[in-house]
Amino acid sequence: MQASIESTGNLERRLTFSLPEERLQTHINGRLGEIARTARIKGFRPGKVPAKVIEQRFGQQVRAEAVDGLLRETFDAALRQHELRIAGNPRIDKAGEGEFDFVATVELVPDFGDVDVTKLNVVRHTAEISDADIDQMIENLRAQRRSWKPVARGAQQGDLVGLETWSQIGDERLPAEGAEKGTIILGQGMMFESIEKGLVGLAKGEEKTLDVDFPADWRVPALAGKTAKVTVKAVEVSEQEVPEVDAAFIKSFGVKNGDPEQFRADIRSNLERELKGALMNRLRREVGEQLIAAYSSVELPPRLVENEARAMLAQQIEAIRRQGGNPGEVPADAHEASRTPLPSACWSACWSVKWPARTSCAWIRNA
């Protein structure tokens, strides 16, 4: 197999290669023969289906699978032939009019030269799970299972308040008609601070008008940097009811016998596992940051950086949606904001090619 290589950038290469047609046809014929021996088609006995019928029924699928498999095999052979270490996934396209001719555009792992990892000053942080951590986790679990009971009194810190709001700036009313509706838990900073404080003491059906000075960078442009009269109305006030840590509560988390000690032991085990993962992630991050600082002059593959930036942006948008927010229309170049500083994941991808996982992780574990 012959493959030609062309340099199209500092780290970009273009490989042109052809699939071996004879091997492709041999593979297709062999696979069709296997299918013919087992295929069950109405009107024919098993193993007696004519080759032409097998070709009509399965030929296109078998050919596509054969081309895909041989394409991967041939591309890998081309990489070995030219001793290329690529970063990220290649882009493979048809080349010209030839059915078996392809061109692959790849980005190479940059040359980091000789790396002396003993010069890295890495600290392995340690921590332990205490009884206080377990107590706090149990309180968090109780809060997750809390319910809300409507009350007639004024709202207090920790209450769930259903509310309606509207604002007035001179002759302009926001919204122009009706009111914005929502719910907040007082004390969690879910609204502008002066508005949230104004809700304290309001009972169901009561309202209050507040003078609010909005900062210049406020998320609502019509209110940013202005003083508005904001009317808040409590539609419903509810207090939380937190379940007791009894057998029923414990069983709901999978502890079948409802034993409190077993419950605490399970929580400790889960927290220790999460802590171990968090400490390892912190160690990896600190190692990555030092590597980035030490090799900041090394050029990274542009497409790999762009793909990582787009992935980071997609994660941010998904996080906003999961929290009930609306990211709105995302500009086509929004991922550019994620490119600086360069994502450490891009460095990880390059380093993992320079040293296979079994080798590259050993010194991190022993740091």
pLDDT digits (tens, 9 = 90+) for 93-145: 887 666 788 888 988 888 777 777 787 888 889 999 999 999 999 999 999 99
CB 307, CB 88: distance < 8 Å: yes
Q: What is the pLDDT of residue 102?
A: 87
Residues of the chain with CATH 3.30.70.1050: 3-107
The mean pLDDT value for 151-156 works out to: 94
Residues of the chain with CATH 3.10.50.40: 147-241
> Which uninterrupted H or E stretch holds 75?
helix 51-82
Structure tokens at 51: 């080759």
Q: What is the pLDDT of residue 255?
A: 93
Give residue for tokens 């052979």.
77
Q: Please, which residues have CB within 8 angstroms of residue 336's CB and are 6 or more apart in sequence?
A: 309
Q: How are strands ordered across the β-sheet holding 3-7?
A: 3-7, 12-18, 101-107, 91-94
Confidence of residue 367 (pLDDT cuts 50, 70, 90): very low
The model's pTM is 0.56
Q: Which of 167-176, 317-326, 349-358 has the highest mean pLDDT?
A: 167-176
CATH number, domain 3-107, options 3.30.70.1050, 3.40.50.880, 3.40.50.300, 3.30.70.20: 3.30.70.1050
More confident residue, 239 or 350: 239
Architecture of the domain made up of 147-241? Roll (3.10)
Q: Which amino acid is at 58?
A: F
Q: Please, which residues have CB within 8 angstroms of residue 28's CB and are 6 or more apart in sequence?
A: 59, 62, 63, 66
Burial 85-119 (b: 16+ CB within 10 A, else e): ebbbeeebeebeeeebebbbbbbbbbeeeeeeeee
CA distance 163 to 22: 74
What is the percent of the chain with per-residue pLDDT over 90, rounded to a whole number? Answer: 34
Whether the per-residue pLDDT at 78 is higher than 60: the answer is yes
Q: What is the pLDDT of residue 24?
A: 85
Q: What is the pLDDT of residue 82?
A: 86
CA distance 36 to 44: 11
Q: What is the pLDDT of residue 281?
A: 92
| Per-residue model confidence as pLDDT tens digits over 330-345 | 777 776 665 544 445 5
What is the percent of the chain with per-residue pLDDT over 70, rounded to a whole number? Answer: 88
